[in-house]
Amino acid sequence: MISVTNLSKSFRVHRKAPGFRSSVRSLFRRDWHEVQALKSVSLSVGAGEIVGIVGANGAGKTTLVKCLSGILHPTSGSATVLGHVPWEREDAFRSRIALIMGQKAQLWWDLPAADGFLLLREIYRIPEKQFRASLDELTAALQVEDRLTTQIRRLSLGERMKMELIAALLHSPRVVFLDEPTLGLDLTAQRAIREFLLRYREKHNPAMLLTSHYMEDIERLCQRIVIIRGGEIVYDGGLREVLDHYAPHKRLTVRWDEAGMDGLPEDILPAALGEITGTEPGVLHAKVPREKAAEAASWLLRRLPVADLNLEEEDVGSIIEALIRK
């Protein structure tokens, strides 16, 4: 549904030093420099997939989403979404996609949501029956039935975002771009939106591209992630596989009974089985190679009066964080 090949985008921005003198100078001469926002990005996304685009601020996530939704013209490379070139903006393309931006309202600020939705019904030419059914389904799922007649600018951030979601999904798009849909929302609203998106995916099977700074969004919604750093894709694959690639270790925590023991023996864990990362009275933390985890656990069980043993995956969120910032 989405196919991108060697997509690059650069922006020309002018640099201005602070202060009055440089403001006056910039009236006559400007220092332009080129910013490479995307460098030869390639990927493809199929129906029913929710792909998480992760990256630090300015990594190029939003630029990618804007190119694929037709807002930006890339500098080079090609892309097709539903068989159309996005930036040619044919109506047949635009009537089958949706873009939701957490940091930017798309609905009309001084109109009640209900009026905005009616306008969208005409824009997308949604038949009356289908429009009613979609609207009822979406407002019920997001629990905003009683807020429809309030001006958008008078709604809370969470309510506004829910209205934006409804507005974007009324015409049952086949491809949905979500740019930071939970930005600035409290935990309850974040959870409500995540659950809604999962249910929506199950029922309508669209391709979804999601950017978010909240690891929980990514972990809960996406089976596949694309990590962007400095405009380049550094990882594209399963969320779980990130662990195999970038987390060769598991975290092992052992609680043991100190009674009758005089501290830990020197060779309590041979180097081949892992590395001790910290000790507290009666507790030992170690990092063990994934494939040696079982062996290391049974070794310790034999050597110590173990009260509790815990073997954990490294936290996906922190691995991704580390990858983003590398």
Partner 1 sequence: MNLPLFRRLFALEFKRAFAYRAEFWLGFLGNALTQVAVAYLLWSAVFASTGAHSLGGLTLRDLALYYLLVPLVERITLGAEMSHISGEIYDGTLNRYLVYPVSFFGFKYVTSLAQSLVYAAQMAALAGLCLWVFGVPPAFRFTPGGIALALAALMLGTVLYFSLAACLEMIAFWADNVWSLMVLLKMVLHFLGGGLLPLVLFPAGFRAVLELTPFPYLVSFPLRFLMQDITAAEAVRGFAVMGGWILGLSLLAGWIWRRGARQYAGVGI
Piece in contact with partner 1 (CB under 8 A), picked from 100-108, 136-144, 254-262, 290-298 = 100-108
Cβ-based nearer residue to partner 1, 28 or 271: 28
Q: Which is nearer to partner 1, 157 or 294 (CB)?
A: 157
Instruction: Give the per-residue SS3 of the chain.
Output: CEEEEEEEEEEEEEECCCCHHHHHHHHHCCEEEEEEEEEEEEEEECCCCEEEEECCCCCCHHHHHHHHCCCCCCCEEEEEECCECHHHCCHHHHCCEEEEECCCCCCCCCCEHHHHHHHHHHHCCCCHHHHHHHHHHHHHHHCCHHHCCCEHHHCCHHHHHHHHHHHHHCCCCCEEEEECCCCCCCHHHHHHHHHHHHHHHHHHCCEEEEECCCHHHHHHHCCEEEEEECCEEEEEEECCHHHHHHCCEEEEEEEECCCCCCCCCCCCCCHHHCEEEEEECCEEEEEEEHHHHHHHHHHHHHHCCEEEEEEEECCHHHHHHHHHHC
| Cβ at position 228, least distance to partner 1 in Å | 18
290: contact with partner 1 by CB under 8 A: no
Q: Which is nearer to partner 1, 89 or 203 (CB)?
A: 89
Q: Which of 97, 38, 90 is nearest to 63 (CA)?
A: 38
Q: Is 88 one of the binding residues for partner 1 (CB under 8 A)? A: no
Q: Is residue 122 part of the contact set for partner 1 (CB under 8 A)? A: yes
Q: Which is nearer to partner 1, 12 or 326 (CB)?
A: 12
Residue 154 near partner 1 by CB under 8 A: no
Among 43, 97, 161, 163, contact with partner 1 (rule: CB under 8 A): 97
Best CA proximity match to 239, nearest among 153, 316, 154: 316
- Tell me which of 15, 34, 78, 91 binds partner 1, using CB under 8 A: 91
Nearest distance in Å: CB 114, partner 1 = 11
* 8-27 residues near partner 1, rule: CB under 8 A: 11-12
Instruction: Give the residue with the Cβ less far from partner 1, 104 or 199.
Output: 104
Q: Going residue by residue from 35 to 74, which x/- string records binding to partner 1, judged by CB under 8 A?
A: -------------------------------x--xxxxx-
Is 80 among the residues that bind partner 1 (CB under 8 A)?
no
Among the residue ranges 107-115, 194-202, 285-293, 302-310, the one whose residues contact partner 1 (CB under 8 A): 107-115
**Min dist. Cβ of residue 67 to partner 1 (A):** 10
Looking from the CA of 64 toward its CB, the CA atoms found within 13 Å total 36
Determine, following the binding rule CB under 8 A, whether residue 153 of this chain makes contact with partner 1. Answer: no
- Binding site residues, partner 1, CB under 8 A: 11-12, 66, 69-73, 89, 91, 94-95, 97-99, 101, 104, 106, 108, 110-111, 115, 118-120, 122-125
